[in-house]
Amino acid sequence: MNELLLAATSLDVTPPPGHRLDGYAARAGLSTGAADPLRATLIWLSTEDDPGVLWLTLDAIAAGSALSSELAAAAGEAAGIPPSHVVVSASHTHSGPSGWTGEIHPVIPAERERSLVDSLVGAVRAAALEQQPVTASWHSVEVIGVGTNRHRKNGPHDNTAGILALHGVDGSLEAVLLDFACHPTTYGPENLQYSADWPGAARAALAPAVVGFLQGAAGDVSPRFTRQGRGAAEVTRLGGLLASRVREALATPGLELPQSAPTIRRTTLTLPVRSVPPVDESEKLVSAVESRVNFESRVNGAGDPSGRISETRLEGARGQALMAAANLPPALDLPVSTVTMGDVCWINLPVELFAVHGACLQSDSTHPITRVIGYTDGYYGYVVDPSAAESGTYEALITFFDQPTTNILLNETATFVNS
């Protein structure tokens, strides 16, 4: 019988200071250093006769299609497997460099910086991947207090963490593949230091195990209503809360998974880009929302969560105006994949799904355990639910996809998952 083999490593890929940070349109200035390291983590599961799957998780706002392709090739070279067996996922931290992926949306113009890309890709290509036999088990645990729906505190949110635990033959915890849905936005636009945010703090708290973090259906989920500050102490608190729940779950037996390599399947969905309102109409909306924000700021004061919701809607209105002036393509090609290991199936998409979409895909899946992962193998922005589209939230104003196209994405993804 084949042994399940693991190779896992976590690389410090923090760029030097002096580069633009990504994640906030309101941020000004270049990075001044690092609050904590940015990492590229490689977790490769295979057997002697099956290349299996290598997860590469990166502390970045996104891994665009070009960056994903380069990283998959580099990781495949390091492991000696085809790039098609590599899955590249971003944590979506809002305190990483914009130069790795470049412009992810007209809202925040940016350019790829070749020196930063080459350094990152070179580090991955040189990664030492030493294999060892392991056993795999699956755990899931509810986590309260890290994030909630960011439009309304009691709105939809999958607050479970999915945990793939990999133990060595001596019983030691060697690696964890952890997924959870929540924006890593503890730090705000005023921050000019690189940070992995709370996923990095959770990873550090689970050391010495190698921890790869996968971001879930987090399009409308954040710490907006749970964070008690915006600095390093709050990053540590939120990450520690998640890590403590993971440790509690790992103290239970979990579901034993087969000693066979995970399998990966891929497809591409071509989706039309929505018709964006013309420039003059979009600019009228900007003026109307600006007036509303100014009024709420006077009434509620700075720092109120409802005020932040209005501020983001203003950012969305401005973003839609930028989209109206841009030369958008008529359609986008979205890479979608599934990774299956025993009863567990990870659905990987290159978008920011809302929580209800994740729940729909889980409900439609024929796999006993289904985890929905975003920000993977590319980045094509938000996919919003009908409520957000009707009310004109920040995400709805800058999405590339209307509601009929969103339904196509969900239906075709579910068909592919169950085929």
Query: Which tens digits make up the pLDDT trace of 350-363?
Result: 999 999 999 999 99
- Please calculate the CA angle 95-359-40 and round it to the nearest 5 degrees: 30
pLDDT of residue 344: 98
Band (pLDDT 50/70/90 cuts) for residue 176 is: very high
Which stretch, 303-307, 380-384, 389-393, has highest mean pLDDT?
380-384
Query: In whole numbers, what is the pLDDT of the chain averaged over residues?
Result: 94
The DSSP secondary structure of 252-305, one letter per residue, reads S--EEPPSS--EEEEEEEEEEPP-PPPHHHHHHHHHHHHHHHHHHHHHH-TT-H
Residue 298 confidence (pLDDT) = 57
Q: Picking from 5-14, 103-112, 313-322, which range would have the lowest pLDDT averaged per residue?
A: 313-322
Span 189-197, average pLDDT:
97
CA distance 378 to 243: 28
Percent of the chain with pLDDT over 70: 95
What is the Cα–Cα distance from 398 to 25, expressed in whole angstroms? 13
293 band by pLDDT with thresholds 50, 70 and 90:
low
Quick one: pLDDT band at residue 300, thresholds 50, 70, 90? low
Model confidence at 226, pLDDT cuts 50, 70, 90, reads very high
**Predicted confidence band of residue 26 (pLDDT cuts 50, 70, 90):** confident
Task: Give the mean pLDDT of 200-218.
Answer: 98
For tokens 């203003």, the residue is: 314
What pTM does this model have? 0.94
pLDDT at residue number 321: 87
pLDDT of residue 296 exceeding 80, the answer is no
CB 236 within 8 A of CB 203: no
User: How high is the pLDDT of residue 311?
Assistant: 76
Using the predicted structure, report yes or no on whether residue 303 has a pLDDT greater than 70. no
Confidence of residue 288 (pLDDT cuts 50, 70, 90): confident
pLDDT of 369 reads 98
CB atoms within 10 A of CB 62: 30
Instruction: Report the pLDDT value the prediction gives residue 299, as an integer from 0 to 100.
Output: 57
| pLDDT tens digits along 63-120 | 999 999 999 999 999 999 999 999 999 999 999 999 999 999 888 889 999 999 999 9
pLDDT at 304: 57
347 or 291, higher pLDDT: 347
Task: Name the nearest CA neighbour of 163 among 63, 65, 244, 50.
Answer: 244
What was the pLDDT predicted at 301?
58
Q: Say which residues have a Cβ less than 8 Å from residue 47's Cβ, sequence separation at least 6.
A: 2, 3, 4, 5, 259, 260, 261
Q: What is the pLDDT of residue 238?
A: 98
CA dist 317 and 288 (Å) reads: 9
Instruction: Kindly indicate the confidence band of residue 284, based on its pLDDT and cuts at 50, 70 and 90.
Output: confident
pLDDT of 376 reads 98
Please compute the mean of the pLDDT values over residues 17-27 and round it to a whole number: 94
